[in-house]
Each structure stands twice: as structure tokens, then as C-alpha cells.
Structure 1
Amino acid sequence: MDKTSALAALGALAHPIRLDAFRALVVAGEAGLTPGVLVERLGVPYAKLGFHLKDLVAAGLVVSAPSGRNVIYRAVYPQMNALLGFLTDNCCEGAACAIEPAPATPASPTASCCGC
């Protein structure tokens, strides 16, 4: 990920509603969530949520796909992991990390040197 993409992703996450929506989509996994479910969970008006979801989609952190009469929103895990990688790329100042890497799990498909 380059600096421009990282800034777009960080900017998209820099709002409470967008951050909450993104986190809910990450938790939902590949099944994703409909806007109706997100409205209920987040307690925000439907129109306001749509505005914020557009920003997350534009930043590449979320995708939408039609599913029958619904639209399903899903987190884009490779983009999320690329952002995390960009932010931690130079962790430990380039030295060998003093913390053992965390093992990859289904919830966190890539290991990181700092155990996050």
C-alpha cells in the first residue's frame, strides 16, 4: 500500500459512524451485512449510513454486492491487512522484533511481529 491509499483509508475510518460500520463488517466476516442490519446495530439514520458507506467503499475498505432484493456490504480484508502492514512496516525500527510473531488465525490471516 502506498501513502496515498493509506491516507484515503485512514480518512475513511476517521469518523465514528464509519469506524463503527467498518468494525461491524469485519466482525460479520464474509457473510457481510445489509444496510438495514447496520442501521439497527449502529442506531443511525439510513440516509446517513449510506453516505458513510460510500466513503468506505471509495477507500477500498468495503465492497457492496447485490443479493436478491438486498445489498450486502463486506469488509475487504486484504485492504485492511495492507493498511495494517503499512502502519507497522517499520515497527521495531527495522531490528528483529523482541516479541514472537502472533500466529495467523482465521480472524487474523497474517501474523505480525508485534503480536497484534
Structure 2
Amino acid sequence: YRELVRAGHEGLPVGELQKHLEIPASTLSHHLSALISAGLISQERQSRTLFCRPCYAQLEQLMAFLTEECCAGGSCSLSPAKTPEETPL
């Protein structure tokens, strides 16, 4: 999803997204289906190319909900997530 958001409103062709992520097509298809079902991305065919685009309005609503609900208890740390290297096992 991050790759699509970074790509902007024009999105990315599915093939290019697969190359960026270096995952099998079936795995990508599974994850894209979940993002489509959640309303976080849309797909549009242009000729023979299938483009995936982020749905920014839905993303903004999700972020607002999470901020409101998760930060309602008082202290809220909106710092960036830790990388796997920074996370102890």
C-alpha cells in the first residue's frame, strides 16, 4: 500500500508494483483484493495495463478514525513505527 501512496494519484501498473515488492503474482493479487474490499485502492484497466490507485479519501477517513479512537485515552504516540531491526524479539 505504501508503494501506491508514494506513487500518487496516478498509481502504478500491477506489474510494476509486483517488481517493486518482489513477491509472487498470486500473493500480490491476494493482498490487492483485500485492499479493494476495504476501499483503500481502486483498479482501472487502460488498454492492456491494470493500474492500482490509492483511494485517498478512504485513507484520510481511516487515519482520522484511528487517531480519534486510539488517542482518546490520553497519551498518544504518533511516532513512526519501528523497523524490524529496532524491534526486540
Aligned partners of 1:69 and 1:31: how far apart in 2? 16
Structure whose residues are more often helix by fraction: 1
> TM-score, length-normalised on structure 1?
0.59
Q: Which has the higher strand share?
A: 2
Q: TM-score, normalised by structure 2?
A: 0.75
User: In the TM superposition, what are the counterparts of 1:1-116 in structure 2 within 5 Å?
Assistant: 22-89=1-68, 91=71
Number of residues of Structure 1 aligned to a counterpart in Structure 2: 75
User: Superposition RMSD on alpha carbons, in Å?
Assistant: 1.9
- String of CA shifts for 1:41-93, please: whole Å, max 9, x gaps: 00001121111100100000010011111111001101111011001125466
Matches of 1:37 and 1:43 in 2, distance apart? Answer: 10
Flag as ranges the 4+ runs of structure 1 deviating above 4 A.
Answer: none
Question: Higher relative CO (CA 8 A, sep ≥ 6), structure 1 or 2?
Answer: 2
CA distance in structure 2 between the aligned counterparts of 1:80 and 1:43, rounded to whole angstroms: 24
Unaligned ranges ≥5, structure 2: 81-89
